[in-house]
A and B are shown apart, each in its own frame.
Chain A
């Protein structure tokens, strides 16, 4: 039995190693044709056009744009909800509402994508006249909503874990509920909250379906949320479902983009791991 368990563990590790290996070896071939410098500085991305450009910046900007929009929604909403649930809400309300919030996270992302494309974009077009049919704004907004429960749930756990004695200390000095929540409990839970934000950020960077469906697929170096953009993930989807021949340079761009994404989320995860380890306040 022990051996079966061990084999299961080994299979997962081997799969991960395999993925990383394929990613890096395939992109190694890519970088023999395209210099890393060009890859990082060229402002155009057009691997299938006649005039080929392999600059990752437009995809990176698309990714960051949708991610930042989603975080602008998810962080304030998520943290506020967490504070409400942990400091204000009656126990019973918390008991029912928390699982309901978590349902938000279990809606398939392709559903969110079509929601963004067919509901949010037409709605926003009433107010923003030159909003493209595919745009970073609605994709980012909807992605933000999808990520809210991730932040609110993890942050609420962190807030709830702050010992009761700290709350009593704050109340005992004449703090109001608001002062207690924001000046004592929030700082005490800050490491957990920051970790939840970073994980949510990594989730947004890696999110695929929403941006593929709603943000379009036009590599576009822009900071304008009204425009059509392509994220790294959306590019990979479109490229893998297209009919580019294997072992061609076009095909290998998938792996180069994949490595970029991998490095990105790997760094984010490492940061959150370090924060968790170093800044966690110890109470016992």
Chain B
């Protein structure tokens, strides 16, 4: 895998250890992620991949007993420094969760929410952003006449694309996705996958997935985690065709996990 210069590194973890109470869930993880790529985190349940993903927008801060050593660097800045406002960070690093979690508001208000909490009142700007975000998430054509309907009336796949639109409305530069398609049917899943492929042009995407075919289809690079270790990190095609580590080989071929 090519070595990245400092400028090319969008996200970086340096010697990262994460603990929940006494339990160490990530062990000395080092990774550098290039801008405008899709990076997949794979590995069996409990391997630490979701925990790792959540360090990039500090969603672990609320978890009881969370403690970390080492650094997470985004755009050259340590995001765990005291002066960093976590709310600002999360506007830049958007997140899509495993289960669609639209707010109990209308479709429009869901997408407009991020702008409103920033105190933006300009109606025209809000409307434009909502339309743009829904188009980006390939949902606009399905909902443009129902913007005032409750978001909860949408199907699961639509709800997940709404959640993506909601995150995009904040114009983040990074999008974290925690198994975004695992609760969806195959058609919705393929829509989300196509979408990820398109979004890559503007965003840096990190996706946690259980589904190895999915990682193979949509990602440029893949990181394989096992029991808190980052076992192997390389271009996706190398990981899937010619892994260097035996453990990766065994997992990819389905011998465990």
Q: Which residues of A contact B (CB under 8 A)?
A: 163, 165-166, 168-176, 179, 183-184, 187-188, 281-282
Given contacts A166-B104, A173-B170, A187-B105, 6 further A-B contacts (CB under 8 A): A169-B102, A171-B59, A172-B94, A173-B114, A174-B170, A187-B104
Give the dominant DSSP class at A's interface.
Answer: helix
Chain A min CB distance to B168 (Å): 11
Which of B57, B88, B118 is within 8 Å of A172, CB to CB?
B57
**How far, in whole Å, are A154 and B205 apart by their CA atoms in the complex?**
42
A281 to chain B: closest residue by CB: B104
Q: Mark B76-117, 1 if CB is under 8 A from A, else 0.
A: 000000000001111100110101011111000000011011
Residues of A within 8 A of B103 (CB): 166, 169-170, 184, 187-188
Between-chain CB contacts (< 8 Å), 25 pairs? A163-B101, A165-B99, A168-B97, A168-B101, A169-B102, A169-B103, A171-B62, A172-B59, A173-B90, A173-B91, A173-B113, A173-B114, A173-B167, A174-B87, A174-B88, A174-B89, A174-B90, A174-B170, A175-B87, A183-B113, A183-B117, A187-B104, A281-B104, A281-B152, A282-B152
Q: How many residues of B contact A (CB 8 A)?
A: 27
Q: How far is the CB of A276 from chain B (nearest CB, A)?
A: 16
Main secondary structure of the interface of B (DSSP, over half): helix
Cβ of B1 to closest chain A Cβ, rounded Å: 29
Given A168-B59, A187-B104, A187-B105, the answer on whether A176 and B87 have CB atoms closer than 8 Å is yes
B101 touches A173 (CB 8 A): no
Q: Nearest chain B CB to A283's CB is how many angstroms away? A: 8
Number of A-B contacts (CB under 8 A): 62
State the CA gap A188–B166 with chains docked (Å). 17
CB distance from B82 to the nearest CB of A (A): 17
Q: B residues near A, CB below 8 A?
A: 57, 59, 62, 87-91, 94-95, 97, 99, 101-105, 113-114, 116-118, 152, 163, 166-167, 170
Q: How far is the CA of A165 from the CA of B180 in the complex (A)?
A: 13
Q: Are B117 and A172 closer than 8 Å at their CB atoms?
A: no
Report the minimum CB–CB distance from B134 to chain A (whole Å): 16
Contacts of A170 in B (CB 8 A): 103
Contact B101 A171 (CB under 8 A): no
